[in-house]
Amino acid sequence: MSATRNKVAVLYQAIEPPIVNGVRKPKKPGGYQDSGADIAYVLQQAGIDTATPAFDPDPQRDTDWCFADTEEGIIDAVNRGTTHLWANTILFSSHPLQVSSKLSEHASHIRVVGQPPRLVDQYDDKNFVNELLRRDGSFYLSKSWLVRSIDDLDTQDLPFPIVAKPIRGRGSHGVKLCRNRDSLRVHLEGLLKESSPAMLEQYLSGQEGTVTVMPPSGEHPNYTALPIVIRFNHDEGIAPYNGTVAVTTNSRGLTTEERGASPAYEAVEKACERVAAKLKVTAPIRIDVRQPDEDKAADFAIFDVNMKPNVTGPGRPGREDQASLTALAAKELGWDYSKLLQEILKSAQTLKQLRQQNIQ
């Protein structure tokens, strides 16, 4: 990517997500400014021109490196000569990237790294995605149930232990493994006050993995899965939030030799590519999968599709252990964090294209 022709600005989440079908996705503290600063800093170090709010940004100050995703913040970035907006934020159908009339005059030439906002509006609903994939009939998914009130538990024949989580969640927020009906009831009492309905999910006790799928770009016309990353050191059956425990301490990418030891690994990577194609995503997604038991040859079941995977990475001072799950996967291809970001950047589409894409 030529530094003389292109200029990248990274957006962070400053806008509170709206209530969609009665549920609001929780806003991340800091609004992804940490990963936004990682992206902008490392791209700059790679010789790619970056727009920043600060004239002389401090590598250790997140706020110096990325722009708010408000209309004002995006216009500020555009007015600084930006050609590529990296939407390191949560999108939705009423987001300024979708509806701002001030951005319309730039929509044909400004390119965006991110998902179509109207698509995210639907696909952030985990139950919606599950049902969409289940109707397809070709995907192996964990069983799931919706619960709108505590009374619903009396009518459900549920397997225990079982996982309870919000349908518009973020990371492991609100996710809990409940070992009996009493613990499930207690957890749901709090969860339903925050997010109703809640989702119950069959607990799979086998090996957990996560697969990042890259979208098509000019050089790669197909959806491409990065090598699977295996997760371990769970906290009560749930992978801990990466803001609390660095993923480098509980996750690792599998080598080519390890992946070749069982056909289950290649099979789930191919299945995840088909999920991305089914959803027609335009930016990387991360799909969490798990085997039903300890049999390493067993097929992996899909249990969570993340429309905005974390993209933290090393480069800035003091960030050496901040590799994301996606960065760990890319490492197995021989890509460092800088190479990963540049590959993602190649998938940028015009704002006009993203605005025109509707849910299927």
Distance CA 192, CA 175 (A): 12
Model pLDDT, residue 3: 41
| CA dihedral angle for residue 324, residue 166, residue 26, residue 63, rounded to 10 degrees | 0
pLDDT tens series, the chain, 360 aa: 444 479 999 999 999 999 887 788 888 889 999 999 999 999 999 999 999 999 999 999 999 999 999 999 999 999 999 999 999 999 999 999 999 999 999 999 999 999 999 999 999 999 999 999 999 999 999 999 999 999 989 888 899 999 999 998 777 788 999 999 999 999 999 999 887 899 999 999 999 999 999 999 988 899 999 999 999 988 777 877 665 667 888 999 999 999 999 999 999 999 999 999 999 999 999 999 999 998 888 999 999 999 999 999 999 999 988 899 999 999 999 999 999 999 999 999 999 999 998 765
Model pLDDT, residue 322: 87
Q: Are both 123-140+204-335 and 144-202 of the same fold?
A: no
H/E segment holding residue 27: none
In CATH, what is the architecture of 144-202?
Answer: 2-Layer Sandwich (3.30)
Q: How many residues does the chain have?
A: 360
Distance CA 343, CA 20 (A): 32
State the chain's maximal CA–CA distance in angstroms: 64
Q: What residues does each domain of the chain span? A: 8-115+349-356, 123-140+204-335, 144-202
CATH T-level fold of 123-140+204-335: D-amino Acid Aminotransferase; Chain A, domain 1 (3.30.470)
H/E segment holding residue 209: strand 208-214
Phi first, then psi, for residue 170 (nearest 5°) are -140, 115
Model pLDDT, residue 241: 63
The tokens for 223 are 């959806």
Model pLDDT, residue 359: 62
Model pLDDT, residue 330: 97
